Amino acid sequence: DVVLTQTPVSLSVTLGDQASISCRSSQSLEYSDGYTYLEWYLQKPGQSPQLLIYEVSNRFSGVPDRFIGSGSGTDFTLKISRVEPEDLGVYYCFQATHDPNTFGAGTKLELK
Amino acid sequence: EVQLQQSGAELGKPGTSVKLSCKVSGYNIRNTYMHWVNQRPGKGLEWIGRIDPANGNTIYAEKFKSKATLTADTSSNTAYMQLSQLKSDDTAIYFCAIRGDWYFDFWGPGTMVTVSS
């Protein structure tokens, strides 16, 4: 199975700071069709996950442009510039390139 | 508006089974894949498996192959997951989600399953 290793486990920030989360895969996530099915989700307490980024770098409708996804192959990053209060929660990367699909272990973004 | 309505909280005894439901409105489940994800208390998200309701084909994560059974009823637009041989480790919130071609489009609110004697 593909293992997604997220770092850091937790991230303490001041509002307005930049935050960066890494997601490293044990195998390349480029599918045979040329697409890379790597997504980022944010889960706030008591809520279902919400999609932020799909196919590495595409922002979902309504997601602010301070969320930037990048990477290729096995190495991916989610950057949040100018963290705002509504950005706090747990971030997960998820891969749908390989079966079984898998989530990273999560990164908790909290206030310093 | 697309809505996923999940069944209510379950309290199951060790060794028994529970069957969770996920009724979809506003979206024909024949045109998508239904996925299930769990989250143990204080832990991260874990992918359980998916079903193609159009043909019943399923894929499971290895650790859930003998634990979860996914089914779907296209006539009622509902997906189901049966969890068997419950253990305390199965205590978790279980989410259903619709996945289109590129991402999870919609999520259910989750069903809490508590395993206790």
- Tens digit of pLDDT for each residue in B32-59? 999 999 999 999 999 999 999 999 999 9
CB atoms within 10 A of CB A71: 19
Q: Which of B43, B104, B106, B111 should be substituted to probe chain A, the one whose Cβ sees the most A Cβ atoms within 10 Å?
A: B104
Beta-strand relationship, A58-59 and B68-73: unpaired
pLDDT digits (tens, 9 = 90+) for B12-30: 999 999 999 999 999 999 9
Q: What is the pLDDT of residue B2?
A: 95
* Residues in chain A closer than 8 A to B97 (CB atoms): 48
Residues B93-109 have a mean pLDDT of 94
Strand partners, A11: A109
Q: What is the pLDDT of residue B51?
A: 98
Largest CA distance in chain B: 42
Q: Do A103 and B60 make contact, defined as CB atoms within 8 angstroms?
A: no
Is residue A100 scored above 90 in pLDDT? yes
pLDDT digits (tens, 9 = 90+) for A37-82: 999 999 999 999 999 999 999 999 999 999 999 999 999 999 999 9
Would an 8 Å CB–CB cutoff place A87 in contact with chain B? no
Containing H/E element for A89? strand A89-95
Q: What is the pLDDT of residue B32?
A: 94
d(CA B8, CA B110): 9
Exposed (0-12), middle (13-18) or buried (19+): which is B112, by Cβ within 10 Å? middle
**Per-residue tokens: B43:** 């832990």
With an 8 Å Cβ cutoff, the interface of chain B facing chain A consists of 35, 37, 44-47, 49-50, 59-62, 95, 97, 99, 102-104, 107-110
Q: What is the pLDDT of residue A75?
A: 98
Q: What is the pLDDT of residue A67?
A: 98
pLDDT digits (tens, 9 = 90+) for A77-91: 999 999 999 999 999
Q: Do B108 and A48 make contact, defined as CB atoms within 8 angstroms?
A: yes
* Residues in chain B closer than 8 A to A106 (CB atoms): 44-45
Q: Which of B34, B45, B101 should be substituted to probe chain A, the one whose Cβ sees the most A Cβ atoms within 10 Å?
A: B45
pLDDT digits (tens, 9 = 90+) for A1-22: 999 999 999 999 999 999 999 9
Is residue B101 scored above 90 in pLDDT? no
